[in-house]
Amino acid sequence: MVAVGYMIDNPGPPSAVRAFLHQRVTPPAIDAAAALESAVYELGERVRAQPAKSLLAAGALGFMTGALVFGLSRR
């Protein structure tokens, strides 16, 4: 419920850190999340169109990543 002093009490401007986060960090983070969502959607569309090529590419990528991780861990 709205109190009597709702329009009278002014909390003041936000802190510098909060203003920086809201103006400089949050918009690029939202844009990056939207770009990632779009990329995942496009990848899903390609997988449905050509599942064999996508499975082969995912396997090759997984094999290369595993070889890189295990190769670096043996050093």
User: Is-contact 67 60, C-beta < 8 A?
Assistant: no
Taking the model in full, what pTM does it have? 0.54
pLDDT tens for the chain, residues 1 to 75: 667 666 676 677 889 999 999 999 999 999 999 999 999 899 888 888 888 888 898 899 999 999 988 887 776
d(CA 71, CA 75): 7
Alpha-helix runs per DSSP H in 8-50: 16-20, 26-49
